[in-house]
Amino acid sequence: MELAQAVQVLRDELTSAAAQGAGSDMAFHVGPIEMEFAVELRKDAHARGGIRAIVLSAETEGAVGRTRTHRVSLTLEPRRSATGDPLLIAADDEGDATGLAGAGAL
């Protein structure tokens, strides 16, 4: 899996979570997301710049052998494309904690 594909999977999951949370009484603001990958850099005549970053799974990371792997860490802050507002997973309002055990103000 390429690094761009791994980030796209996260984007898709956050979009799905936001859609599933619509109408919920509880809201979650998505804060910074830290991701760390083991990647293998490969020369590729078709890739811009000639190098691709391939994300390794736990299985492939242990079996790589002679190739060199690198750690890549990213911190992403999800924002709405149109407005730049932080991503909210839930309903449009603040919600209500009534009925939640030990819940204070949200």
State yes or no: pLDDT of 29 exceeds 80. yes
Better-predicted residue by pLDDT, 96 or 41: 41
Parent domain of 52 = 3-89
Query: What are the beta bridge partners of residue 10?
Result: none
Sequence-separated (6 or more) residues with CB below 8 Å from residue 75: 32, 33, 34, 35
Confidence class of residue 20 from pLDDT cuts 50, 70 and 90? confident
Please list, in sequence order, all residues whose beta carbon lies within 8 angstroms of the beta carbon of residue 69, skipping any fewer than 6 positions away.
38, 39, 40, 56, 61
| Interval 47-102: pLDDT, tens | 566 777 788 765 544 444 456 788 888 898 888 888 888 887 775 555 455 554 55
Q: What local confidence, expressed as pLDDT, does residue 93 receive? A: 52
User: Is 59 inside any structural domain?
Assistant: yes
Q: What whole-number distance in Å separates Cα of residue 8 and Cα of residue 61?
A: 21
Specify the pLDDT at position 100.
Answer: 47
What is the DSSP pairing of strand 51-55 with strand 88-89?
unpaired
On whether residue 106 sits in a domain, the answer given is: no
Is residue 102 included in any domain, yes or no? no
**Does the residue 105 lie in any domain?**
no
Report the pLDDT value the prediction gives residue 61, as an integer from 0 to 100. 46
Rounded CA-CA distance 7/76 in Å is 9
Is residue 100, in this structure, part of any structural domain at all?
A: no
Structural domain contains residue 94: no
Q: What pLDDT, on a 0 to 100 scale, did the predictor assign at position 64? A: 45
Q: Quote the number of domains for the chain.
A: 1
**Residue 51 belongs to a domain:** yes
pLDDT band of residue 21 (cuts 50, 70, 90) is confident
As a whole number of angstroms, the distance between CA 7 and CA 50 comes to 20
